[in-house]
Amino acid sequence: MKSRKTYFVSDIHLGLPDRERSFKRELKLVNFLDSIKNDAETVYFVGDIFDFWWEYKSVVPRGFVRFLGKIAELTDFGVNVVFFTGNHDIWMKDYLSEELGVKILHRELKAEINGKRFYVAHGDGLGPGDVSYKFLKKIFTNKFLQWCFSRLHPDFAFFIARKWSLSRRKKEKYTDFKGKEKELLILHSENVLKKEYFDYMIYGHRHFPLMTGIGETSKHINLGDWLINFTFGVFDGKNFQLKTFKNNTAENYVTDLSKTFKTSF
């Protein structure tokens, strides 16, 4: 029997930068998910699926209904769907798991698939340094401060969050590959490998696609994004590939470390 495939996607940022451009990406994403539903065993969304997500007890963000409907279709079809929380949608609670049947992970995953060992994480706050963000993440995950934010009216709260996200987007620099000695996630991978072996170490967060060897036989993978690169990872039971979804068809992605990857937002 032919083994079914495992897919990895990250950094879609639905909602960014406005409804019109986000909607076009959403439709492309839905087409991608429709194209893989017959051979997918599991689909991992490795963080920052939404540019902002917050759940009140009876209110969730409006929009994204085509994407959410497709996820419901996949889970009804028997596909396992896993959502990692990223730094933009860290506040997921139980709404999506209850409504869509997805599994939500708030930390890294260690898994074995067809005899290969996988380490999967969004990547924010991992690796040495980046002290300012690690402090900011402690604020974002503080239960009392979350309770305070929930006291705000949803229209006002979502307005503040989206303004914050857009302002951060202008300051953040997702540019080129900095070299193995400077990429924090690669340094993190190397540190993890000193204690435990993994065949594939997969991350989102950095927005540019990359697959490079680390250690003796391991692979470090940045999944890229769905802002401009439209890349995803797929494991067929034997090999892992990084691919691009173009014109509603998948193509092999050839990593060129001399290229510079820049977001358009």
Per-residue pLDDT of 211-229, as tens digits, reads 999 988 999 999 999 998 9
Strands in the chain per DSSP E: 5-9, 40-46, 80-84, 103-105, 109-113, 116-121, 200-203, 209-214, 218-223, 231-235, 240-246, 249-252
17-48 pLDDT tens trace: 888 999 999 999 999 999 999 999 999 999 99
Residue 13 domain-assigned (yes or no): yes
> Average pLDDT of the chain?
85
pLDDT of residue 37: 93
129-159 pLDDT tens trace: 777 767 777 777 788 887 888 888 888 877 8
Structural domain for 59, as ranges: 5-252
147-197 pLDDT tens trace: 888 888 888 877 877 777 766 665 565 556 666 777 889 999 999 999 999
- CATH code for the domain of 184: 3.60.21.10
Residue 261 domain-assigned (yes or no): no
The amino acid that residue 79 corresponds to is: V
Look up tokens 């999944």; give the residue: 223
Q: For residue 210, give both structure tokens.
A: 């990359």
60-87 pLDDT tens trace: 888 899 999 999 999 999 999 999 998 8
Residue 260 domain-assigned (yes or no): no
Residue 262 domain-assigned (yes or no): no
Confidence (pTM): 0.87
pLDDT of residue 264: 42
Q: For residue 33, give both structure tokens.
A: 């998910």
Count of structural domains within the chain: 1
Residue 257 domain-assigned (yes or no): no
Residues with Cβ < 8 Å from 16, sequence gap 6 or more? Answer: 22, 51, 165, 166, 169, 227, 265
Residue 265 domain-assigned (yes or no): no
